[in-house]
Structure 1
Amino acid sequence: MLPVPDEELTLATAVHRRLREDILAGRLPPGSKLKLRDLTGCYGAGASPMREALSKLAAEGLAERLEHRGFRVSQAQPAQLAGLIRSRVLAEGAALHDAIQHGDAAWEEAVLLAEHRLNRLARSLHPARFLANPEWEACHQQFHQALLSACQAPALLAFCERLREEAGRYRALSNTRAYPDRDVAVEHAEIAQATIRREAGRACALLAQHYERTGRIVGTEMQAVRGNEPAHADGTAPRGP
């Protein structure tokens, strides 16, 4: 096999990053076909770096290779979501426990500041219906990262971050289920307070409940969508407008 030129590897890396972001953000829905001809035009890359990027996504579990038919975005299954939530609970619980053991005053201040910034923002940009606020989403990510930031196990933190990204893909599938019936501001405040009080058991339990509640909401939405939208003849889910 001939070696792949460096410029193609660089382009494949850039395209992989963009495709990955679009999948995790829900812009490329689960089950949607990843047609090489369409992708090369949309992402400005040739067939060779695009295939390299798609192969890497398949290795990561974000894409599926269809025999003789290219690729598609991996399906999102309720059972996979349940396993993901359980993994987050276990991994982030361990990371938070370690952070509480090793965190200093600066870490405490960072947690409180992140929670304060998040609490000041509206989760929805529309008062009557849910319209995601990108600034809230960014601060939400920063809050959860701040909680774990004093953990002394870099590999564990990297694993938690990978799980967080994958969970974001599932969250993007739900629309209004979590709003406005759920007071996430109270949940975040309780987690933050238990954390800075060094109440490791309570903080980890609250974090677990936070993720499990999200899992139930998103899982319910996924089941509703799967029940209301028939699959195409090739087994892929219908795409949104």
Structure 2
Amino acid sequence: MRKLTDKTLPQAIFFVRENPMTEPSPPSLVQHAIRRLRQDILEGRMPPLHKLKIEVLRDAYGISSTPVREALTRLAQEGLVTNDLRRGFRVAPMSLDDFADIIRLRLIIESDALAVSIHQCTEAWQTKVRSSYEQLMITASMMNDGPSSTPKEWAEVHKSFHSAIISGCGSARQLEICDALYDQAERYVRLSARTRAIPRARGREHEMLYEAVLGKNLDVALPLFRQHLELTLRSIGDQLGNTEPLESPTLLEGSAL
């Protein structure tokens, strides 16, 4: 299976230096580093297998080595970074087999969280689902169909919607696993977004899922959720199986899952 590496996906690695005068307070430094690293990885500024040198990241983010090292360790636990005693920290590799495995695990773990959330159906959960769906549709209405219509705003509201529909499961540990798997999948989604020849029917897909979820119709909601992820797997698998798009350094600019 062909893996995506620095050679197959050349990228311009760049950072925006933080202003030392606006550096976060010490208790938030690790979270600040985690957020910046995760963003740089998901948005493709750091390609697969890119070596993550602590001193380079320290200077780029304008913080000390300790929070950078802690952030790298945390992202290694989440699967976005690898840590080898000899090679050090690197961005996790990518392959179609890996993406298929991520989707398989999401289908198992998120489907269970969704089923429990629907069964519990608390008022707070319903409010959260409604609010996230409204933001999703507002964002979708401002976007044009086509391979380039995948701004970062869509990625944010899309993740919020998927997080909301499973948020009522009552297990913080399960939700943490779901969040990590979502981010792992997001790298592949953003990679494929700019080369999508046929746009996904964003509005209708999510509308049907939303109605089934708030309608507490498990027999409809779970198959729709499975179909949603399996369609993503097929779509991205077809795209990444083509060698041409992998040569472009401008693929990673948003999500349209």
Whether TM exceeds 0.5 here: the answer is: yes
Correspondence for 1:152 among 170, 174, 199? 170
Whichever residue aligns with residue 120 of structure 1, its letter is: I
Distance 1:131 1:184 in 2: 11
Whichever residue aligns with residue 221 of structure 1, its letter is: Q
- Give the corresponding residue for 2:91: 73
- Give the corresponding residue for 2:16: none
Correspondence for 1:192 among 210, 227, 233? 210
The alignment of Structure 1 onto Structure 2 pairs a total of residues equal to: 227
Q: Which moved more, 1:114-123 or 1:186-195?
A: 114-123
Matched-pair contact (CA < 8 Å) for 2:102–2:185: yes
SS of the residue corresponding to residue 139 of structure 2 reads: coil
SS of the residue corresponding to residue 34 of structure 1 reads: coil
Matched-pair contact (CA < 8 Å) for 2:146–2:196: no
SS of the residue corresponding to residue 206 of structure 1 reads: helix
Distance 2:123 2:69 in 1: 48
Matched-pair contact (CA < 8 Å) for 1:34–1:71: yes
Point out where structure 1 has 5 or more consecutive residues left out of the alignment.
Answer: 1-6, 230-237
Q: Give how far 1:212 is off.
A: 1.2
Q: Deviation string for 1:90-113 (max 9, x for gaps)?
A: 111111111111103554354344
Matched-pair contact (CA < 8 Å) for 1:36–1:50: yes
- Give the corresponding residue for 2:39: 21
Distance 2:177 2:99 in 1: 16
Distance 1:156 1:103 in 2: 17
Rg (Cα) greater in structure: 1
Distance 1:195 1:10 in 2: 36
Q: Give how far 1:126 is off.
A: 5.2
TM-score, normalising length from structure 1? 0.76
Distance 1:69 1:59 in 2: 17
Distance 2:226 2:85 in 1: 39
Whichever residue aligns with residue 221 of structure 2, its letter is: A
Are 2:239 and 1:221 equivalent residues in the alignment?
A: yes
The 5-angstrom pairing of residues 30-179 of structure 1 reads 30-47=48-65, 49-65=67-83, 68-105=86-123, 107-122=125-140, 125=143, 129-178=147-196
SS of the residue corresponding to residue 64 of structure 1 reads: strand
SS of the residue corresponding to residue 242 of structure 2 reads: helix
- From the superposition, tell whether residues 23 and 15 of structure 1 become closer, same or farther in structure 2 (CA, over 3 Å): same
Distance 1:57 1:147 in 2: 24
- From the superposition, tell whether residues 36 and 227 of structure 1 become closer, same or farther in structure 2 (CA, over 3 Å): same
Distance 1:199 1:206 in 2: 11
Distance 1:64 1:224 in 2: 26
TM-score, normalising length from structure 2? 0.72
Distance 2:142 2:195 in 1: 13
Distance 2:123 2:28 in 1: 42
- From the superposition, tell whether residues 132 and 103 of structure 1 become closer, same or farther in structure 2 (CA, over 3 Å): same
Distance 2:83 2:132 in 1: 40
